[in-house]
Amino acid sequence: MAIVSFLSAKGSPGATTAALLVAALWPRDVLVLDADPAGGDVAARLPGAAGGVLDAERGLLPLLTSARRGLGPQQLLDGAQPAAGGTAVVCGLTRPEQAGAAAGSWPALASAAAGLGATGTDVVVDAGRVTTEPVHLSLLRASDVVVLVLRDDVASVLHARERLAALGTVLRRADGLLPRTGVLVVGDPRRGDGDQAAEVVRAAGDRVEDFGRLPMDTAGARVFDGARTARPERTALVRAGRGVVAALAAAAAGYHREAA
């Protein structure tokens, strides 16, 4: 099993799009968990499997509420809804106040997500913008791979470097293990700034990996908003996404070898 969490340091560099893209291309059964403490937007973007809207009230909040009495992997699966394309999605919170009110329930959610391995289901987490002391830290610690998504501009690089340096001290679990942590750079490949951006951010900590590049492909990303896209598999976003998925799957496999 694998838990792959996507997060950002500031603004909207494309973490949600990256998470949805990776989930759509992932080689095994996958559950998308919208766990942005500030309020998720997956439900607002992805249409339901039948073409309607996903129910934003049925998702993370009732799971966190019930977690006070215990939460298992099957309850996590039961809280999911089928989205267009067949991906199972647990919709996120609707207001940031809900994350703090359920602060004590995040460890149970992390445990349930980790337990999905027994069902053969991997988890892709949209963790949103992460502070130095995130309320959902237990979920990040339970991840096999943590991916910081950033743009290839100076401001995004500086914020990402600071955030990675801070997270490097808090992601370590009680057993001493750290998730495989790295960067995914979103930008215009014609400028060629992605490699330099990744190099600068990777210098923020030990063993920070480079998980690849995604282009600023607005047309390709619209498929996750329900737009009809001719031959989506030929878009620049999907073509680049296949390489990113391969890198993340290899990192997750490497994490399990280290854990063993």
The answer for residues whose C-beta is within 8 angstroms of residue 210's C-beta and 6 or more apart is: 182, 183, 198, 202
Q: What is the DSSP string of 167-200?
A: HTTT---TTS---EEEEEEEE-TTT--HHHHHHH
pLDDT digits (tens, 9 = 90+) for 130-171: 887 889 999 999 999 999 999 999 999 999 999 988 888 899
pLDDT at site 117: 86
- In the numeric block, which tokens belong to residue 3? 């838990």
Which H or E run includes 151? strand 145-151
Please give the Cα distance from 51 to 54 (Å, whole number): 9
Please give the Cα distance from 49 to 83 (Å, whole number): 4
The answer, yes or no, to whether residue 58 has pLDDT greater than 80, is yes
* Of the listed ranges 35-44, 59-68, 220-229, the one predicted with least confidence: 220-229
The answer, yes or no, to whether residue 257 has pLDDT greater than 70, is no
pLDDT at site 16: 93
Residue 171 amino acid letter:
L
How would you class 49 by CB atoms within 10 Å of its CB: exposed for 0-12, middle for 13-18, buried for 19 or more? middle
The answer, yes or no, to whether residue 228 has pLDDT greater than 90, is no
Instruction: Tell me the pLDDT band of 259, cut-offs 50, 70 and 90.
Output: low
Ordered by where they begin, the domains of the chain are 3-259 (3.40.50.300)
The model's pTM is 0.94
Radius of gyration of the chain from Cα atoms? 17
pLDDT at site 234: 87
